[in-house]
Amino acid sequence: MSDGLQNKVIFQQVAELLQNARQQVLRTVNSTMTITYFEIGRIIVEEEQNGKYRAGYGKQLLKGLSEHLTKEFGKGFSIDNLENMRKLFLTFSKSETLSRILEIQKTQTVSAEFKRPDYQTLSSFFTLTFSHYIFLMRIENEKERRFYKIESEKHNWSVRELKRQYDTALYTRLALSRDKEGVLKLSEEGQIIEKPKDIIKDPYILEFLGLPESHQYSESQLEEEIINKLEHFLLELGHGFTFVGRQQRITFDDKHFRIDLVFYNRILKCFVLIDLKIGELKHQDLGQMQMYVNYYDREMRLEDENKTIGIVLCQNKSEAVVKYTLPENNEQIFASKYKTVLPSVEALKELLESNII
């Protein structure tokens, strides 16, 4: 190995160590501050309960506390922020996991007058930034809130990415394809990918392409916009996806066919083929995808890889066409709608409630 190459390898190893260290320090700081705010919220709530018979006591408490803390510690202790700390305690102290932690703390507390927070114990629960929790507190459904907390932790979502996933109703779209037991599992474990159906969403939300719903565009234009925003598209596809290529050509009997987009999912260890269709889905579209999938399974797939998955993305589809075109035990070919504008979360939730709950 040449000196130049060796130096580059050493640099990459050291750089990775430093980046991991910085992330660890940041996580520790974020966790410590969130736990501190949680404990401030606890003190506020307990004091409010002591003075619950006095009208307006809570507002007076927050106002006075804000003035004193701001004078002593500077910004960050406005009445609104203290209210968020109060909500943080009220919202997450109800969590079954945190309730067990708090119960253990209570039995280990020496002084009844002041409960010093056990940062080491609580850090296993509070791993996100305070800004993450402020957003999570706005989600009223506890199962849904737990899901977004778990996914944010598992995939290091920024607050911006968390907001985007919520605004595009990720939980609702995943829940639509699951029974009651599957929906409960989502809220307890997040998205677990074990079989092809687990990676499928319906609809896919492609608002980041900037294409109006009524805009006239071709399939090639849609594909071009996806390639231009590939990072966003990979996030929308979900966990474990890597891009392989576009317009991948396959040839047999002197005939050429091109698959719009080819990906690989590292979790399922399989190719994922995507065809883009403008307008209504036709049975021929599903038949064509079946041909692509068969080709990849027989000519491209390695022995240790799983069967290829095919997804036809269309603007509209008939469930009957999908049902009677594909075999009953189908686990490889899927048809999903896509939306180029942000749908109403409420409308999707209504659909979820009518179909599952």
Residue 1: pLDDT over 60: no
Matching residue, tokens 């396959």: 250
Residue 19: pLDDT over 80: no
Confidence of residue 54 (pLDDT cuts 50, 70, 90): low
Dihedral in degrees, nearest 10, Cα atoms 165, 167, 168, 170: 50
Nearest to 143 by CA among 151, 134, 131: 151
Confidence of residue 96 (pLDDT cuts 50, 70, 90): low
pTM of the predicted model, to two decimals? 0.76
Matching residue, tokens 């399974």: 297
Q: Three-state SS for 285?
A: helix
Strand partners, 164: none
How much is the mean pLDDT over the chain?
A: 84
Cα–Cα distances in Å, from 204 out to 76, 292, 305, 345, 350?
39, 21, 26, 13, 18
Residue 350: pLDDT over 70: no
HSE-up of 42 (CA within 13 Å, CB side)? 16
What integer is the mean pLDDT of 98-112?
59
Cα–Cα distances in Å, from 134 out to 34, 47, 80?
10, 22, 11
What integer is the mean pLDDT of 168-196?
82
pLDDT tens readout for residues 63-95 = 889 998 998 888 888 999 999 999 999 998 877
Confidence of residue 108 (pLDDT cuts 50, 70, 90): low
Phi, psi at residue 345, to the nearest 5°?
A: -60, -40
CA angle 298, 301, 304 (to 5 degrees): 125
Percentages (nearest 5) of helix, strand, coil residues in the chain: 55, 15, 30
pLDDT tens readout for residues 267-285 = 999 999 999 998 889 999 9
Contact between 175 and 356 (Cβ < 8 Å):
yes
Cα–Cα distances in Å, from 355 out to 67, 178, 179, 224?
51, 10, 9, 35
The residues of the chain that CATH labels 3.40.1350.10 are 197-342
What integer is the mean pLDDT of 289-317?
94
Report the C-alpha gap between 121 and 117 in whole angstroms.
Answer: 9
Q: Does domain 197-342 have CATH number 3.40.50.300?
A: no
Can you give the pLDDT at residue 203? 86
Contact between 135 and 162 (Cβ < 8 Å):
yes
CA angle 249, 274, 302 (to 5 degrees): 65
